[in-house]
């Protein structure tokens, strides 16, 4: 039997399920802000979900992600007798595979059109290459390192992030070093840290900075269909 009641602990998966299986979601995190007006019970944050509130919803399935959600929280849900599906997404092809898996588990009878449109949108991208550093936090400064979904998307858009071979996925790098490696540009997303025109670019004087939306750089869901065009415009518009 296909699940009739689903709780999502991942904002991008919340959006994907809400678009593809209206009415299936009964709970989502406080950070699940897409689609706008989603009317479900809020169950806390991605890092601190309320297990009692989730259990009280009696979901047939809880969907989670190995990076966004903490294993102790997921273990507590399993101990309460709930079925928990955990995704692992490090590349764009991996995202498409996991989306197929999640939507099938949520009872979506056929592959949604937006998923086909997203795959098509990522074909035939420009071959010109540029180097970049991609901060995701400051105080302390942290950047994209190896084996990240966002790094894979940027690579497909012609951007080679300079810490892609670092042994850590999100290494802490002193600001002086980030400046010294002299990337072609600095990519500043608005999540998890909210970089803005007044908070971020001033740390990299003389370097082109591209302010990008985290939903297009880090989410895997319907936003993937428009992400290449939206991110491409932001990268081309980068200014010192």
The alpha-helical segments, DSSP class H, found in 38-132 are: 51-56, 71-79, 92-105, 113-121
Q: What's the pTM?
A: 0.93
Do 91 and 146 share a domain, yes or no?
Answer: no
Residue 1, pLDDT score: 52
Q: How many CB atoms lie within 10 A of CB 80?
A: 13
> Which residues in the chain come in under a pLDDT of 50?
none
Rounded CA gap, 113 and 94, in Å? 18
Do 142 and 97 share a domain, yes or no?
Answer: no
* Structural domain of 168: 130-236
Do 136 and 53 share a domain, yes or no?
Answer: no
Angle between helices 92-105 and 11-20 (to 10 degrees): 50
Residue 124, pLDDT score: 80
Residue 239, pLDDT score: 73
Q: Is residue 28 part of a domain?
A: yes
Residue 170, pLDDT score: 97
Contacts of 129 (CB under 8 A, 6+ apart): 158, 159, 160
Name the residue among 236, 233, 230, 199 with its Cα closest to residue 217. 230
Domain boundary among 80, 111, 142: 111
Do 135 and 232 share a domain, yes or no?
Answer: yes
Which tokens hold the place of 165? 């071979």
CATH number of the domain bearing residue 75:
3.40.50.1980
Rounded CA gap, 129 and 162, in Å? 12
Total of domains in the chain: 2
């Amino acid at each position: 039997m296909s699940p009739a009641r689903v709780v999502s602990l991942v904002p991008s998966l919340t959006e994907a399920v809400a678009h593809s299986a209206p009415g299936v979601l009964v709970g989502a995190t406080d950070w699940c802000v897409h689609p706008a007006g989603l009317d479900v019970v809020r169950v806390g944050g991605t890092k601190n979900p309320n297990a009692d509130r989730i259990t009280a919803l009696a979901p047939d399935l809880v969907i989670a992600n190995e990076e966004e959600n903490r294993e102790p929280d997921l273990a507590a849900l399993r101990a309460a007798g709930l079925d928990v599906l955990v995704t692992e997404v490090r590349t764009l092809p991996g995202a498409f595979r996991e989306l197929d898996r999640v939507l099938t588990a949520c009872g979506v009878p056929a592959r949604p059109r937006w998923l086909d449109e997203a795959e098509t949108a990522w074909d035939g991208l420009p071959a010109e290459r540029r180097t970049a550093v991609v901060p995701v936090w400051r105080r302390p400064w942290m950047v994209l390192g190896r084996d990240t979904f966002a790094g894979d998307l940027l690579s497909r858009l012609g951007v080679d992030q300079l810490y892609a071979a670092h042994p850590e996925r999100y290494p802490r790098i002193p600001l002086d070093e980030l400046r010294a490696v002299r990337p072609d540009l600095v990519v500043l997303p608005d999540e998890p840290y909210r970089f803005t025109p007044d908070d971020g670019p001033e740390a990299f004087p003389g370097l082109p900075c591209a302010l990008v939306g985290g939903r297009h750089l880090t989410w895997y869901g319907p936003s993937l269909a428009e992400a290449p065009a939206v991110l491409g415009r932001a990268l081309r518009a980068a200014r010192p």
